[in-house]
């Protein structure tokens, strides 16, 4: 839906690799609700790569999926690639492209409806060129 707003004329491709983490039983819950219901699990996902959201996806599986997405993006031969995704996907991609451990992904505050710009080099690393861009933006031609 969001991609259709930003790119109304474009032919869109849906990528399963770019889906947000499956939070399972925690889907739609606030941090406070999770903290109250499972205080022993809060924060574990950042510490334990084998952590699995109750009834959902493991951090390991999510990380592998986002690594595959990064490879797909790097293999694309277009000069500009646009990806519309949820904040968790964007945070993990930023970590992978910037060479930061994924357990530090929450250092990036990604606002809803904002744009992140990343310049990617041939070696698969990148430079963060913009974060939380909103309002009028002139897309590259």
User: Concatenated DSSP letters for 11-78?
Assistant: PP---GGGPPP--GGGTT--HHHHHHH-TTTTTHHHH-TT-B-TTS-BHHHHHHHHHHHHHHHHH--S
- pTM greater than 0.85: yes
**pLDDT given for residue 61 in this prediction:** 94
Half-sphere exposure of 106 (CA within 13 A, CB side): 5
CA dist 85 → 35, 39, 56, 74 (Å): 26, 29, 19, 17
Please tell me the predicted confidence (pLDDT) of residue 140: 60
Residues of the chain with pLDDT under 70: 136-141
Residue 105 sits at the vertex; the CA angle it makes with 110 and 87, to the nearest 5 degrees, is 30
Predicted pLDDT of residue 139: 62
pLDDT of residue 89: 97
Residue 135: its pLDDT value, please? 75
């Amino acid at each position: 839906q969001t991609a259709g707003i930003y790119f109304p004329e474009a032919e869109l491709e849906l990528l399963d690799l770019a889906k947000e983490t499956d939070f399972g039983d925690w889907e739609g819950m606030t941090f406070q609700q999770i903290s109250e219901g499972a205080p022993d699990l809060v924060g574990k996902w950042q510490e334990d790569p084998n952590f699995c959201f109750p009834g959902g996806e493991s951090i390991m599986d999510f990380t592998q999926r986002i690594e595959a997405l990064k490879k797909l993006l790097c293999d694309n031969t277009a000069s500009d690639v646009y990806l519309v995704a949820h904040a968790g996907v964007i945070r993990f991609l930023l970590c992978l492209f910037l060479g930061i451990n994924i357990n530090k992904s929450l250092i990036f505050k990604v606002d809803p409806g904002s744009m992140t710009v990343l310049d990617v080099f041939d070696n698969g690393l990148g430079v963060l060129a913009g974060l939380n861009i909103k309002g009028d933006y002139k897309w590259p031609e």
